[in-house]
Amino acid sequence: MPVTLRNRCDSLLHGIGRRLAGYLNRPSLGYTPFTPSDFDTLCRTLRPGDVLLVEGQERISNAIKYLTQSTWSHAAMYVGDSLPAAPGAAEPHRLIEVNLGEGCVSAPLSKYARFNTRICRPVGLTPKECRAVADFMAVRVGLKYDLRNVFDLLRYFFPTPPVPVRWRRRMLAFGSGDPTRAICSSLIARAFQSVRYPILPDARMVKARSGSKFARREILHIRHHSLFAPRDFDLSPYFQIIKPHLAEGFDPHLLEWSADHAPEPEQMGVSAA
């Protein structure tokens, strides 16, 4: 293909991709967090290497929630103070994430102050290893999302028809496999794989060296990073779910309860059926 024609095709695909990404990134109507977020407690609880799961409100979030059958549609990594100060920023950027249409970017914690979130913490990593995971993400800030790959975007426009369970994960992984063109969890998965930390490894039983036909041992195989979704950090047996209120020492005896009962469902306009 001549260079001039190829440049025109690239420009056309980039323009289409930009429009598709803009549509998918628009907020859905009617989103409200199920529980109010205690932002100050969240800030005090997070540690470098923690994965912050987010219940997103964009149109693409609805597609990911459907395809993964999960509350969580987005994942970001908390990296602490490892990032340089952002020019003109009102607060430091302590999160790194991959966003559709942008690629790998940093963000302040306040971006998700009003969202439902969950902290997933790797267990057993040394502080040096947690820093290595955070640095893996930090050096990739600025990687761009290639909007010419419009087929990676089109998959998110068809979440409504029923999709067999066995195909849903593949719909998320469809495309080039490049983490800058994948959903947010792919790059985070690569960061943990760089220090050989398991998320949801493929476990297979093999014969033990003892020679006994009854002896078996489990061997973990690393899954391809494109196969990971945000909910996998929640489901993983190797990540601890951290709830900020409990982490700071929750005492139910200190709660103040109202003497009035909550309104009945009928009084709130909700059918008891």
Q: What is 79-129 written as a DSSP string?
A: -TT-SPPPTT-SS---EEEEETTTEEEEE-GGGGTTS-EEEEEESS--HHH
Q: Find, among 41, 51, 245, 240, the residue nearest to 137 by Cα.
A: 51
The amino acid that residue 98 corresponds to is V
User: Model confidence at 225, in pLDDT bands (50, 70, 90)?
Assistant: low
User: How many residues appear in the chain?
Assistant: 273
Q: Tokens for 64?
A: 């990911």
CA distance 219 to 214: 16
Read off the pLDDT of residues 27-37 as tens digits, 9 standing for 90 and up.
877 666 666 66
Q: What pLDDT is stored for residue 178 in this prediction?
A: 52
Query: Three-state SS for 7?
Result: helix
Q: Where are the domains of the chain?
A: 3-197+224-249
Query: Three-state SS for 265?
Result: helix
With tokens 């709130």, the residue in question is 268
Read off the pLDDT of residues 180-209 as tens digits, 9 standing for 90 and up.
444 678 889 999 999 999 998 765 544 555
> Which stretch of 92-96, 98-102, 224-228, 240-244 has the lowest confidence by average pLDDT?
224-228
User: Model confidence at 59, in pLDDT bands (50, 70, 90)?
Assistant: confident
CA distance 8 to 158: 28
In sequence order, what are the beta bridge partners of 51?
Answer: 77, 120
| High-pLDDT (> 70) share of the chain, % | 70
User: Model confidence at 227, in pLDDT bands (50, 70, 90)?
Assistant: low
The whole-number average pLDDT for the span 35-46 is 85
Read off the pLDDT of residues 131-173 as tens digits, 9 standing for 90 and up.
999 999 999 998 887 776 676 677 677 655 566 666 666 666 5
The whole-number average pLDDT for the span 69-82 is 90
Domain 3-197+224-249 class, CATH top level: alpha beta
Q: What is the CA radius of gyration of the chain?
A: 22
44 within 8 A of 244, measured Cβ to Cβ: yes
| Helix (H) / strand (E) containing 193 | helix 185-193
Residues 7-14: contacts with CB within 8 Å, 24+ apart? 10/148, 13/147, 13/148, 13/149, 13/150, 14/147, 14/148
The whole-number average pLDDT for the span 99-116 is 89
Read off the pLDDT of residues 1-21 as tens digits, 9 standing for 90 and up.
576 877 788 788 778 878 888
C-alpha distance from residue 132 to each of 109, 184, 192 (Å): 21, 19, 9
Q: What is the DSSP letter of 184?
A: T
Residues 6 or more apart whose CB falls under 8 angstroms from that of 208 comprise 215, 216, 217
- In the chain the first and final C-alpha atoms are separated, in Å, by 64
The amino acid that residue 97 corresponds to is E
Q: What pLDDT is stored for residue 173 in this prediction?
A: 59
Average pLDDT value over all residues in the chain: 78
